[in-house]
Amino acid sequence: MSENKGKVFVIQEVAKFNVIPAREYGELVPLFEEGKQIMLSPAPAVRKAKEKLRNFNDDDFLLLIGDPSMIGLACAVASDNNRGKYKVLKYDRRSFKYFPIQIDLNERNTRDERES
């Protein structure tokens, strides 16, 4: 992990969850307000995600909380803006900590390539 702290994009604010411990990984930046959902027209949410995630990079994280369709949208936009790569924070209820997970959609499994 880079020594530079990036941003932690909180997909959706949810009052019942304390996300303050995620500040260990960077500045908390909310993407969508609590209670918002994508229903009939996703275009406003797409525009908002594209705007807020336009500079998403290897130092940033997504905190996957809130409406599943907004989580999917944020992952797609972050990946698109960062060469197919993004990192998420996964909360572990036993240790009460967040753990980083890096996802690279362009990663190739060499074993699969040899079998092709």
Closest CA to 62 of 95, 34, 98, 36: 98
Domains of the chain: 6-115 (3.40.50)
pLDDT in tens, 42-67: 999 999 999 999 999 999 999 999 99
d(C-alpha 23, C-alpha 20), whole Å: 6
The answer to whether the CB of 20 falls within 8 A of the CB of 65 is no
Which pLDDT score is estimated for 1? 45
Greatest pairwise CA separation for the chain in angstroms: 49
The residue to which tokens 């060469």 are assigned: 83
Q: Beta strand 85-92 with 97-104: parallel, antiparallel or unpaired? A: antiparallel
DSSP 60: -
Q: What is the pLDDT of residues 9-32, one digit of tens each?
A: 999 999 898 999 999 999 999 999
* Global pTM value: 0.85
Q: In what order do the strands lie in the sheet with 85-92?
A: 26-32, 6-12, 61-63, 85-92, 97-104
